């Protein structure tokens, strides 16, 4: 991963870790080089050492998913103990193909990582659910953002402790503006490109509102892919994922189970014993169902052996799992208060959205803004882009009308009285008539207040002069009295 990819790419990661990563690379860009020898001495191992594959325990492959996730192994992932998604995919595939492996456990302790590579890894885990070997994601501290994108594709998601953190479903992106730093260093960069969006959001200039809206659209789209993937992998509706799981919150322990992100809890030893025996708890569809449901048994294996007896993953049966139905029945006042609070929060969010859309208003586009205000989904930046496009189209139509209706100006002529000033003006007019339409239009625009009053802009007037010079404008004579 290149440094600018780290700084400017979309990430599915908790915000504080993204800030830590970008600060490390920013220091590197400022010339504060990383002391590789000191890091190797501290770790007691070379930084170019590739991580090991999986560990086999009683027929169960344990695959570590640690630290920041990146598509390829790089210096940061080696220093921070991060995980290369390409190497993870290799090890995962090897475990599936290993005849000594009866089940797989993804042992996850990760804040997430780059979006690039995460979707492919999640699809690989999801595809394995159609095979005989069960796959369980087990949280060993945290499974957040991109790590949850991958872990939620497993047959089951289990936490190892009541303090484990799960969630932070969302996508983040940063624009780093180096124009100020380059200016101090005496560096001036000029982007030369073709295609309006080719350098939109360039790091060598401040971020414009149009570029912000463009990048926001990227993040929104990736967020939609993330939510849809979690919905499919967890067997939930996208609306449920959005309302209960995917607003960027971090859920701790039992909270994650109630919200539907996690199916229960277990120690790693108990989980390995259960999987080794041939039984495992499948993921449940729907929020808060895992803790209350019965364990599913593993189907008959390829060796002809029947399914092993059901082994329950410890779920603390003395703890009541609360869902919305139970909450309404046993605690109606609390349920009502939560519902009212949700309505209030939703109403506040909708009011803010409408105000943001209203702020993008522009004369002549009232009807469009009204439509966007009440469609329930358009954000302020998205409204700004639509209004700007509508204004461009409007100006194009007005220019076409000017070309069709504008009269042809009468040519200047010398005075027959022999007046020297008139002759001078006539000579100047004759010289001006020889100029290209653009230059002639600019001169008249600068000196003639009547022209500026007649045309909305210099560009409109230049277009008129070009049309006039090309003979595409005809003069309508006055009708005789």
Residue 134, number of CB atoms within 10 A of its CB: 25
Give the list of residues 6+ apart from residue 194 with CB closer than 8 angstroms, or none. none
Q: Is residue 315 part of a domain?
A: no
Quick one: 64 and 177 in the same domain? yes
Quick one: 97 and 46 in the same domain? yes
Q: Is residue 247 part of a domain?
A: yes
Residues spanned by the domain of 446: 407-469
The tens place of each residue's pLDDT in the chain, 481 residues long, gives 444 555 556 666 666 666 666 666 555 555 556 565 665 555 454 545 455 588 999 999 999 998 888 887 655 555 555 788 999 999 999 999 999 999 999 999 998 888 888 999 999 999 998 888 999 999 999 999 899 999 999 999 999 999 999 998 888 777 666 677 767 777 776 767 676 666 666 666 777 788 778 778 888 888 888 999 999 999 888 888 888 888 888 999 999 999 999 999 999 999 999 999 887 655 543 343 333 233 333 333 333 333 323 333 333 434 455 667 776 777 787 777 777 777 777 778 888 888 888 888 778 888 888 888 888 888 877 878 887 788 778 777 766 776 676 666 666 554 444 556 777 777 777 777 778 878 888 888 888 888 788 888 888 878 887 777 777 666 555 444 4
Active site residue 145: yes
Q: How far apart are CA 93 and CA 84, in angstroms?
A: 14
Q: 113 near 144, Cβ under 8 Å?
A: no
Give the list of residues 6+ apart from residue 307 with CB closer than 8 angstroms, or none. 278, 279, 297, 298, 299, 300
* Active-site pick, 145, 152, 168, 202: 145
Q: How far apart are CA 59 and CA 370, in angstroms?
A: 62
pTM attached to this predicted model: 0.51
Quick one: 387 and 449 in the same domain? no
From 383, 402, 421, give the residue that closes a domain.
Answer: 402
R_g of the chain computed on alpha carbons: 33
The per-residue pLDDT for 351 is 82
Q: Is residue 101 part of a domain?
A: yes
Q: 135 near 115, Cβ under 8 Å?
A: no
Q: How far apart are CA 131 and CA 465, in angstroms?
A: 72
**What backbone phi and psi angles, to 5 degrees, belong to 184?**
-65, -35
Residue 278, number of CB atoms within 10 A of its CB: 22
The per-residue pLDDT for 133 is 92
Residues paired with residue 425 on neighbouring β-strands, in sequence order: none
Q: Is residue 342 part of a domain?
A: yes
Q: 69 near 9, Cβ under 8 Å?
A: no
Quick one: 378 and 421 in the same domain? no
Q: How far apart are CA 191 and CA 200, in angstroms?
A: 10
From 352, 381, 402, give the residue that closes a domain.
Answer: 402
Q: How far apart are CA 408 and CA 72, in angstroms?
A: 66
Domain of residue 53, CATH code: 3.90.226.10
Q: How far apart are CA 288 and CA 262, in angstroms?
A: 8
- The number of distinct structural domains making up the chain is 3
The per-residue pLDDT for 297 is 32
Q: How far apart are CA 360 and CA 9, in angstroms?
A: 27
From 402, 425, 455, give the residue that closes a domain.
Answer: 402
Half-sphere exposure of 62 (CA within 13 A, CB side): 17
Q: Is residue 261 part of a domain?
A: yes
Quick one: 465 and 379 in the same domain? no
Residue 228, number of CB atoms within 10 A of its CB: 12
Quick one: 141 and 239 in the same domain? yes
Residue 471, number of CB atoms within 10 A of its CB: 8
Residues paired with residue 55 on neighbouring β-strands, in sequence order: 62
Single out the residue of 164, 107, 148, 146 nearest to residue 233, CA to CA.
148
Q: 125 near 92, Cβ under 8 Å?
A: yes
Quick one: 152 and 283 in the same domain? yes
Q: How far apart are CA 461 and CA 401, in angstroms?
A: 12
User: Which H or E run contains 134?
Assistant: none
Buried b (16+ CB within 10 A) or exposed e, 85-106: bebbbebbeebbebeebbbbbb
Give the list of residues 6+ apart from residue 164 with CB closer than 8 angstroms, or none. 139, 140, 141, 142, 143, 252, 253, 256
Burial of 298 (0-12, 13-18, 19+ CB in 10 A): buried
Q: What is the largest CA-CA distance in the chain?
A: 118
Burial of 53 (0-12, 13-18, 19+ CB in 10 A): middle
* Active-site pick, 198, 330, 394, 443: 198
Quick one: 447 and 388 in the same domain? no
Quick one: 87 and 170 in the same domain? yes
């Amino acid at each position: 991963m290149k440094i600018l990819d780290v700084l400017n790419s979309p990430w599915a990661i908790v915000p504080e870790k993204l800030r830590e990563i970008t600060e490390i690379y920013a220091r590197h860009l400022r010339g504060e080089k990383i002391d590789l020898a000191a890091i190797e001495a501290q770790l007691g191992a070379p930084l170019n050492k590739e991580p090991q594959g999986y560990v086999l325990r009683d027929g169960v492959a344990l695959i570590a998913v640690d630290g920041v996730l990146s598509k390829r192994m790089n210096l940061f992932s080696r220093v921070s103990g991060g995980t290369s998604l390409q190497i993870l995919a290799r090890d995962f595939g090897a475990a599936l193909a290993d005849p000594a492996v009866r089940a797989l456990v993804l042992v996850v302790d990760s804040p997430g990582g780059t979006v690039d590579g995460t979707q492919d890894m999640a699809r690989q885990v999801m595809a394995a659910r159609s095979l005989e070997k069960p796959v369980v994601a087990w949280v060993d501290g945290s499974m957040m953002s991109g790590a949850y994108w991958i872990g939620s594709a497993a047959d089951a998601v289990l936490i190892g402790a009541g303090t484990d953190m799960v969630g932070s479903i969302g996508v983040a992106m940063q624009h780093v503006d180096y124009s100020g730093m380059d200016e101090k260093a005496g560096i001036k960069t000029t982007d030369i490109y073709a295609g309006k969006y080719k350098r939109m959001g360039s790091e060598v200039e401040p971020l414009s509102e149009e570029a912000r809206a463009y990048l926001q659209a990227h993040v929104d789209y990736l967020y939609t892919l993330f939510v849809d993937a979690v919905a499919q992998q967890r067997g939930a509706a996208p609306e449920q994922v959005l309302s209960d799981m995917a607003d960027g919150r971090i859920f701790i322990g039992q909270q994650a189970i109630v919200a539907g992100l996690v199916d229960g809890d277990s120690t790693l030893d108990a989980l390995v014993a259960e999987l080794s025996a041939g039984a495992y708890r499948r993921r449940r569809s729907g929020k808060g169902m895992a803790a209350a449901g019965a364990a599913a048994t593993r189907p008959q294996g390829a060796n002809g052996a029947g399914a092993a007896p059901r082994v329950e993953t410890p779920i603390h049966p003395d703890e009541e799992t609360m869902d919305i139905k139970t909450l309404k029945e046993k605690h109606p006042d609390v349920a009502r208060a939560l519902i009212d609070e949700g309505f209030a929060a939703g109403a506040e969010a909708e009011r803010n959205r409408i105000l943001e859309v209203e702020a993008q208003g522009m004369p002549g586009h009232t009807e469009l803004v009204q439509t966007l205000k009440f469609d329930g989904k358009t954000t302020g930046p998205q409204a700004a882009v639509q209004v700007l496009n509508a204004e461009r189209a409007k100006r194009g139509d007005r220019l076409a009308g000017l070309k069709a209706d504008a009269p042809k100006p009468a040519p200047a002529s010398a005075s027959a009285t022999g007046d020297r000033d008139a002759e001078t003006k006539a000579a100047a007019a004759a010289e001006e008539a020889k100029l290209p339409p653009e230059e002639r239009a600019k001169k008249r625009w600068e000196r003639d207040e009547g022209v500026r009053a007649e045309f909305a802009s210099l560009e409109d007037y230049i277009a008129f002069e070009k049309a006039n010079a090309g003979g595409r404008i005809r003069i309508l004579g006055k009708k005789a009295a």
